[in-house]
Structure 1
Amino acid sequence: MKHLTPCETHTFLEQRPEALFVDCRSTIEYYFVGHPLGAIHIAWNDGEDWEVNPDFVAEVKRLTDSDPQRPVVIICRSGRRSIEAGEALEAAGFKDVINVLYGFEGERDEHMHRNTLNGWRVDGLPWEQS
Structure 2
Amino acid sequence: MTVPDVSPAAAWAALKSDPDAVLVDVRTDAEWTFVGVPDLSEAGKQPVLIPWQVYPSMQVNGAFAEHLRRSGVTPLSKVFYLCRSGARSLAAAQAAQAAGFPNAANVADGFEGPPDAQGHRGATAGWKAGGLPWRQR
TM-score under structure 1 length normalisation: 0.93
Contact kept, 8 Å, 2:23 with 2:80, in 1: the verdict is yes
Aligned equivalents of 1:89, 1:107: Cα separation in 2: 24
Contact kept, 8 Å, 1:73 with 1:99, in 2: the verdict is yes
Residues 6-62 of structure 1: per-residue CA shift (max 9 Å, x gap)? 111100111112222111001000111001012121000122211111111111122
Aligned equivalents of 2:90, 2:63: Cα separation in 1: 17
Which ranges of structure 1 fall in alignment gaps of 5 or more residues?
none
Q: CA deviation at 1:112?
A: 2.3
TM-score under structure 2 length normalisation: 0.88
Match of 1:44 in 2: 52
Matched, 1:23 2:25: yes
Aligned residues: 129
Which ranges of structure 2 fall in alignment gaps of 5 or more residues?
40-45
The amino acid across from 1:43 in the alignment is: P
Q: CA deviation at 1:94?
A: 1.3
Match of 2:98 in 1: 91
Matches within 5 A, 1:103-118: 103-118=110-125
Percent identical among aligned pairs is 37
Match of 1:119 in 2: 126
Structure 2 SS opposite 1:58:
helix
